[in-house]
Amino acid sequence: GAGVSQSPSNKVTEKGKDVELRCDPISGHTALYWYRQSLGQGLEFLIYFQGNSAPDKSGLPSDRFSAERTGGSVSTLTIQRTQQEDSAVYLCASSLNPDNEQFFGPGTRLTVL
């Protein structure tokens, strides 16, 4: 596609529910990244994929967070048993390869009530 797209753009959920966030990277980009940005904070790096593989998952905040990428394209970030502190904007980015500039999607604003 023309740019990185994310869905949904906004998600409101109740504490304890699971949510799934989706990212469609730019076609042909092998690297895909997930970030979290809490109100007034900088970006927190969560995980990146090279192809379908995530070399390092240590940036995920807890074991309630998981991510996968299939077909070297779409990625989903899943948060299980959401907590209020999970409320944030979740940004996805992609790049041609990990050594190139990243292009960001518009983000998903998650609100956990």
Partner 1 sequence: EDKVVQSPLSLVVHEGDTVTLNCSYEVTNFRSLLWYKQEKKAPTFLFMLTSSGIEKKSGRLSSILDKKELFSILNITATQTGDSAVYLCAARILYTSGTYKYIFGTGTRLKVLA
Residues ≥6 apart with Cβ < 8 Å to 42: none
Which residue in the set 43, 64, 73, 76 belongs to the binding site for partner 1 (CB under 8 A)?
43
Q: Does 101 bind partner 1 (CB under 8 A)?
A: yes
Q: Does 42 bind partner 1 (CB under 8 A)?
A: yes
Residues ≥6 apart with Cβ < 8 Å to 78: 18, 19, 20, 21, 65, 66, 67, 68
Q: Which is nearer to partner 1, 19 or 89 (CB)?
A: 89
Which residue in the set 1, 28, 55, 71 belongs to the binding site for partner 1 (CB under 8 A)?
55
